[in-house]
Amino acid sequence: MQRLCSQQTPLFLLLTAGLLLVPPPASSKPFFEDGFLGLTQEEVHAKLGTPHAIRSRKAALRVFSYYSPKDWKKYFSKLVSPQNGEDVYTYSRNGVQVRYSFVYKPDFREAVDFPTLHVKRVEVEFTPSVPLKAIPALVNEFNPSVGPKDPAFRSNLWVLLFKGPPSKEAELVVEEWDKADGKWSLAYQLFSVNGLPDYLTVNSSIDRLEFNIQSLSRIHQIGRHTHEPIMNPYSVEFAQRPPAPPKPKKTIPVPVYAE
């Protein structure tokens, strides 16, 4: 009996050592207060449940093919890289369809065939479009700052807002060629498909909100011609501005005839 126990002891130690060598499941905490950027795909699924759909982007265009999770896993996931599938969750809130899409980036530090996927961008689309002031009530994770001088920029198609301090950990999902360009912070980018008016108001229409990671210092360096600084549109001072001045009337020239 003693000999049998002595033979089993090395086997027990070997199995125990093997269990200790198995790496724990990948886990991470979000980079910023939005609660999404930086999470692994498994953590997104644990937080929100099984995706309602998976979509695949056609090149760089905003053209997508949508699949059921079952079909994606069985067929289409074998045809493209794992990060090409974006997890989609659709909700109805206050009569508006609110669609979340999670875009992932592999952790290339892992020397494995299928690295862990981390959220690098979240796109939230509204159908129909909604006024700027309505977005916080539709998207709980959207919590813009309210100071009138907090960093805010615009173009003819979007409004860009920054929130909170930079995060060194956020470099994990920044493309390699961008990493040396600055400190990376949480950014909210609000898009209007039909363009924004010259005089922006809290009622200006927005079709899409993105949670992404951008560098404020980089914008100050190279974005002077593309990023127009504006007052924070979620500040009280912005809402209290006077209405847009009336557009000057175009007069029709009266022809003058020679006598």
Per-residue pLDDT, averaged over 203-212, amounts to: 98
Decide if pLDDT at 108 tops 90.
Answer: no
**β-strand partners of 189:** 160, 210
Nearest 10 degrees: CA dihedral of 26, 29, 35, 40?
-10
Task: Say if residues 187 and 214 touch (Cβ distance below 8 Å).
Answer: yes
134-139 CB contacts, 8 Å cutoff, 24+ apart: 134/94, 135/190, 135/206, 135/209, 136/234, 137/93, 137/94, 138/93, 138/94, 138/96, 138/98, 139/98, 139/209
Please, how many CA atoms are within 13 Å of residue 215, restricted to the half-sphere of its CB? Answer: 18
Decide if pLDDT at 8 tops 60.
Answer: no
Q: What are phi and psi of 164, to 5 degrees?
A: 80, 175
pLDDT of residue 178: 66
pLDDT greater at residue 86 or residue 11: 86
Per-residue pLDDT, averaged over 239-254, amounts to: 83
169: left (phi over 0), alpha (psi -120 to 50) or beta: alpha
Per-residue pLDDT, averaged over 70-75, amounts to: 91
Decide if pLDDT at 196 tops 60.
Answer: yes
pLDDT of residue 22: 40
Decide if pLDDT at 18 tops 50.
Answer: no
Neighbouring CB atoms inside 10 A of 164's CB total 14
pLDDT of residue 20: 41
pLDDT of residue 15: 42
Condensed to tens digits (0 to 9), the pLDDT of residues 58-70 reads: 876 788 999 999 9
Query: Residue 31 is encoded by which pair of tokens?
Result: 């980079």
pLDDT of residue 26: 52
Output b/e per residue, 111-147; b: 16+ Cβ within 10 A.
Answer: eeeebbbbbbbbbbbbeebbebbbbeebbebbbbbee
pLDDT of residue 246: 82
* In the chain, % of residues over pLDDT 90: 63
Task: Say if residues 54 and 99 touch (Cβ distance below 8 Å).
Answer: no
Please, how many CA atoms are within 13 Å of residue 57, restricted to the half-sphere of its CB? Answer: 16
pLDDT of residue 28: 66
What are the sequence ranges of the domains in the chain?
A: 25-239
Neighbouring CB atoms inside 10 A of 86's CB total 21
pLDDT of residue 253: 81
Please tell me the pTM assigned to this model: 0.83
Least confident window among 25-29, 36-40, 127-131: 25-29
Task: Say if residues 211 and 34 touch (Cβ distance below 8 Å).
Answer: yes
Task: Say if residues 32 and 164 touch (Cβ distance below 8 Å).
Answer: yes
pLDDT of residue 250: 79
Per-residue pLDDT, averaged over 78-105, amounts to: 94
- Give the CA diameter of the chain: 132
Highest mean pLDDT: which range of 74-83, 95-104, 106-115: 95-104
Per-residue pLDDT, averaged over 222-227, amounts to: 82
Summary mean pLDDT of the chain: 87
* In the chain, % of residues over pLDDT 70: 86
Per-residue pLDDT, averaged over 133-161, amounts to: 97
